[in-house]
Amino acid sequence: MSIWRWADLIDFVPEHARITLGEGQTPLVRSRSIGPNAGLKNLWFKLDFVSPTASYKDRFAAATVSHMVAAGKTRCIATSSGNTGASLAAYCAAAGIQCLIAIVEGAPLGKLQQMLCYGAKLYRIRGFGADIATTSAVMALIQKWGSEPDAAVQVSSYKYSAPGMTGVETVAFDLAEQTPTIDHLFCPAGGGGLAVAAARGFRKLVERGVLGKSPAVEVVQPEGNDTMASPLRDGHTQAREVTSTTRISGLQVPTINDGHWAVNECRASGGSGHVVTDDQVWETQRRLARDEGIFTEPAGAVALAGALRAARERRLTSDAHIICMITGSGFKDPHSVEETVAATAGAPLVNLEEFSRLHES
């Protein structure tokens, strides 16, 4: 069942205009190894990469493309570091909408190939996603082109595409159905949209009387793109622009985007900010694969890296019910695959006699 089962809680789209590929209701699984070893008795993973295009951005694309269909739009003008573009390309293909995407310079090849498979037109732009001036200039052009009557700008951010982000709010609705207790929800953040959506989704459920209180929505960022995590932790009311130096693809968002909202919405929920290094993210990615059987892209390991750091700093109680968002599949990023298997023996070619002696050794 798609996110449209929550149609009364997200921006209204006529039923005939709704585009779905079966997004939503992704698995919630309990940690068997990492949590107990960190002293966390109730650590869970929300596997939102178990989605039609293998990332949580399908929630966004389903809602925002449906709004385009309802409005009679025929051209999607978008930006992406990878997952948003793949989701938009797929849902635009399903809706018969043309899709043009401005891509950050360092987007993984696997995600570019995925977009191309769906028929999107792509343009990688030097400096986009790392340099503030270039990023701002690209966004200005995108907004100009998207203002034409037959077009719409689509960026997975409340700042640019608020109707689509209501689709992301359904992750909170899913979780409320899946578990009766959530104390902390850890979210990776680049522009901050996921954390804002989760906080707003939980607030809607509290207002409807479905939940008694919202869980604390925790923001986790790589230290090379710390636009909102430290401001949230340190008591500031606004996010800040930075020069992005992180190598974690998908979280290289040096501009504010939804950062101010993330600081205030997550603080209101009782959440805080957490900063992790790129090396901690990659190590967490490896542990998820080897210890839990969950292979995510680096950005998808950021939430857990933050939760583990918070546990080491004694910012979490051992019996707290903690959920980490696992947002994208590792198989979308060929470099991640190469790095993860680099230390293994690979798959050597052997003859039958050599294979038969393996058990002896």
In the chain the first and final C-alpha atoms are separated, in Å, by 50
pLDDT tens per residue, range 274-325: 999 999 999 999 999 999 999 999 999 999 999 999 999 999 999 999 999 9
Give the other-Cβ count within 10 Å of 312's Cβ: 11
The two structure tokens encoding residue 35: 């949590």
What's the pLDDT tens digit per position in 117-166?
999 999 999 988 777 888 889 889 988 998 899 999 999 999 999 999 99
Q: What is the pLDDT, as a whole number, of residue 11?
A: 87
Residues 123 and 233 in one domain: no
For residues 34 and 182, state if they share a domain: yes
Same-domain pairing of 251 and 277: yes
Of 134, 158, 182, the one marking the end of a domain is: 158
Place of tokens 């570091």: 81
Q: Are residues 207 and 71 in the same domain?
A: no
User: Could you tell me if 119 and 183 lie in one domain?
Assistant: no
Q: Does residue 346 form part of some domain?
A: no
Strands 151-154 and 75-80 turn out to be: parallel
Answer whether residue 348 is part of any domain: no
Give the dihedral sign, CA 186/190/196/201: negative
What CATH number did the domain enclosing 134 receive?
3.40.50.1100
Position 176 in a domain: yes
- Residue 1: pLDDT over 80: no
- DSSP bridge partners of 222: 276
pLDDT at 361: 58
Number of domains the chain contains = 2
pLDDT at 345 over 70: no
Q: Does residue 360 lie in a domain region?
A: no
Residue 356 domain flag:
no
Residue 349 resides in a domain: no
The mean-pLDDT minimum among 36-50, 94-108, 176-190, 209-223 falls in 94-108
Q: What is the pLDDT of residues 2-42, one digit of tens each?
A: 999 998 888 889 999 999 999 999 999 999 999 999 999 99
Q: What is the pTM of this model?
A: 0.93
Domain holding 289, by residue range, is 3-55+165-341
- Pure H helices in 108-228: 109-117, 132-146, 158-168, 170-178, 193-207
Same domain? 45 vs 74 = no
Q: Which residues pair with residue 124 across a beta bridge?
A: 103
Residue range 262-266: average pLDDT? 98
- At what angle are helices 57-71 and 83-95 packed, to 10 degrees? 40
**Confidence band for 254, pLDDT divided at 50, 70 and 90:** confident
Does residue 281 share a domain with residue 142? no
Domain boundary among 135, 158, 181: 158
pLDDT at 59: 98
What pLDDT does residue 282 have?
94
